[in-house]
Each structure stands twice: as structure tokens, then as C-alpha cells.
Amino acid sequence: MTFYWLNVRMHRDQSAVLYSENELNLVDLWDVLVRRRIWIVATLVVCIAGAIAYLLLKPPVYEARVKLRIGQVAGAGFFEPPEVLSSRLLAMYGEDVADGVRRQRPFLKQAAIPKGVPGGVELVVVADRPADATALLGRIFEEIQKTHQETFRENWRVLNERIQHLDAQRMALQLQFSDASDLIDRLKPRDPVQASLMMLERGRISASIAGLDAERPSLVQKLTPPQTQSTELLGEIAAPQKPAAPKRGLVLALAVILGVVGGVLLSFVVEFFAKARERPRRASPHE
């Protein structure tokens, strides 16, 4: 039992010593930082000055973005698949012209397919000036609209001609229906059998007219949105008000963090070399 209490006491004494040493180490570290604070301040000032110089010398880059929706006719599919359009635009207006050849700004930075927008494509253009970014976005959309408008007109023409054909066919059948009705009225007194046959023919004409009347609304509906619509912008092409890069807040924040961390490390390095120089001096009297 006595041996147990001796072990417990020794454990407590060791813990107290370790705690005292750790506390002393933290105090020593704080003393080093206080004595070498000039190095921390100097490093912080240098990093902030470097960040400010970088922001002043780095030319600003502006980003303009807009979303568009690819058109279609009669719900038969988009004029151009979004993936194909994205690849085509990047090849025409993107930064990479060829292997090892880069296009100068302005250029198309991104042509992405946004979620939740069927047939949508988001275009992002970067330029040195806001006006250049919006101008390139406008030219890109004009090229897309011109290409898709030809497809839109051709498909719309085919569908519209079908509706006009139905209208002409209905007018012809309506005329036949009227003629058949007049003929039936004349045949009833003289030839009831022939009048009955004409009534059957008139019923067939009436059924054909009803079929055309049922088909026409569906065709007209196909010519209205969302089944039929041209390629359009989902918003306006607006000039960016602030540069996208460099990000001033992020650069300054990184400079402060780097200055503080670097200053602390530099303080410990200076303290290390200072103590290394003092050791030979302390040891010399004993020699």
C-alpha cells in the first residue's frame, strides 16, 4: 500500500514538473516574440507592400457573363445540342487557338451547361475592359442567333405550310359538304335511294372535316412556346462593374497571413542564431 502511494506521489510530481516546463516554454516563446517583434512588423510591412505593388502593377481583368437558351421547333429537339454548341464556341472564341498558341484578351473563358435550364448555355468572357467583354459577348450571341435562325425559319415554314394545307383542305371539304347537302335536298323527292347514298358520302366528308379540326389546334400549339421558340438570351448582357481579378481582398488577406506567419518564423530563426553566437562567449571563460 505504501508503495502504491509512493507511485502516485511520484506521478503527481512528474506531472507538476512537466506542466511547469511547458508553462515556462510558452512564456519563453512569448518573450521571444515580444523581443523580436520588430522582425514580425517588418515582415508584415514587406508582405503588405508587396501585395499593394502587385495590385497596382497587375492589370485588372473583367468578366461578363450571360445565359442563353437554345431554340427548337415543335418540340423536335434543340437546333444544336448544348454540348456541341459549347465545344464549337470554345474552339472559335476560346483562349486556346492551337497547340501552344494562346489568344489575347478578350476571349471566351467558359461555355458551361447550367443545371435546371434545359438547352441552356452560360457564356463567360474575360477582357481588359468592360466594354470589350460585353462587345465580344454580343458578337458571339449574334453568330449563334444567325446560325439558329436559319434552322428556325426552315422548320417553322414546314409546319406553317402544313397548317395552311389543312385550312385549304378543310375549305374544299366544306364546299363538298355544302354541295352534297344541296344534292340530297334535290334527290329526296325523286330518288330516295340515291339521296341515302349521298347522305353516307356527306357523313364521310363531315368526319374528315372533324378530323382536320382536331388536328389543327395541335399543330398551332406546336408553333407556340415552349414547343417552338427561337434561341434567346436569359437576361441582359451587362458590363461588369468590378474586376474579376486580381481579387484585392483575398490578396491583402493572404499578405497579412503570410506576413504574420513569416514574421513569427523569422523571429525564432533570429533568436536561434543569437543564442548560437552567445554560447561560445559563455563557454570561453571555462576554457
Gap between the Cα atoms of 217 and 224, Å rounded: 11
Nearest to 241 by CA among 127, 110, 130, 128: 130
229, 70 Cβ separation under 8 angstroms: no
Which are the contacts of 262, defined by CB distance < 8 A and separation ≥ 6? 43, 47
Look at phi and psi of residue 106 and say left if phi exceeds 0, alpha if psi is from -120 to 50, else beta. Answer: beta
Look at residue 261 in the predicted model and tell me its pLDDT: 94
127, 136 Cβ separation under 8 angstroms: yes
Q: How many CB atoms within 10 Å of residue 164?
A: 9
Look at residue 18 in the predicted model and tell me its pLDDT: 46
205, 180 Cβ separation under 8 angstroms: yes
Which are the contacts of 92, defined by CB distance < 8 A and separation ≥ 6? 108, 143
Look at residue 144 in the predicted model and tell me its pLDDT: 95
Look at residue 5 in the predicted model and tell me its pLDDT: 46
Gap between the Cα atoms of 271 and 259, Å rounded: 18
Look at residue 139 in the predicted model and tell me its pLDDT: 95
List per-block mean pLDDT (blocks of 10 residues) for the chain, which spans 287 residues: 51 51 66 86 93 90 95 88 95 88 92 92 95 95 93 88 92 93 87 87 92 89 86 92 88 93 90 79 56
